[in-house]
Amino acid sequence: MNQNHKLRVAVLASGRGSNLQALIDSCRSGEVDARVILVISDNPAARALELARKNSIPATVIEAKGYHSRHEFNTALADAVERSGADLVCLAGFMRVLSEAFLERFNGMIINIHPSLLPSFPGLNAQKQALEHGVKVTGCTVHWVDRGVDTGSIILQDCVKVEPDDTVETLSQRILKQEHVIYPKAVQLIASGAVKAPVR
């Protein structure tokens, strides 16, 4: 695919940005026919911003506290994404639920990665939920974002065995390794046209 016609990806991240780095690396290697064109964070201390700058990717901070309402904050996010010309929005540890107005504006363009085998253990602390329920297998899921929390159509999943001596930290680390594998694969499925957003 010609560089100018690669899928243009905007990444929203609140923290360390390890999934962002996995996406950047897979795009650079040619494994994924896409390029990350913008990183947005709601946290000025997010390592994701530093990773973006190191990789010469435009990065911007949009903090919720700078706006009078959730609607204004989401409008600012949406405006920034729209200006970038992104074809796909990837949530990579973005710790805010996007408003319905944002979702409508980018209908069929937003995906997320979640550290469980959805529909099991949606929401926060999925790894802790898995351990508390005593499951033997958990994993990670890439899904389309809809109006619910972690309820959108599933694109790709991978399993991670739960070890008897696992803690939240050890389980989280192994799941994260698999996230770094399947998130780029999911983006490539979209870039190649093999997967399309569900019709709403």
CA separation, residue 15 to residues 33, 146, 190 (Å):
25, 22, 25
Residue 136 forms part of a structural domain = yes
CATH number of the domain enclosing 127: 3.40.50.170
For residue 138, the cross-strand partners are 160
Give 2's pLDDT tier (boundaries 50, 70, 90).
Answer: very low
In this prediction the pTM is: 0.95
Q: What is the mean pLDDT of residues 119-128?
A: 97
- Report the pLDDT value the prediction gives residue 198, as an integer from 0 to 100: 87
Domain region containing 167:
3-191
Percent of the chain with pLDDT over 90: 94
* pLDDT tens digits for range 156-194: 999 999 999 999 999 999 999 999 999 999 999 999 999
68 is a catalytic site residue: no
Count of structural domains, the chain: 1
Instruction: Catalytic residue, from 5, 68, 114, 180: name it.
Output: 114
Residue 199 forms part of a structural domain = no
Q: What is the mean pLDDT of residues 78-91?
A: 98
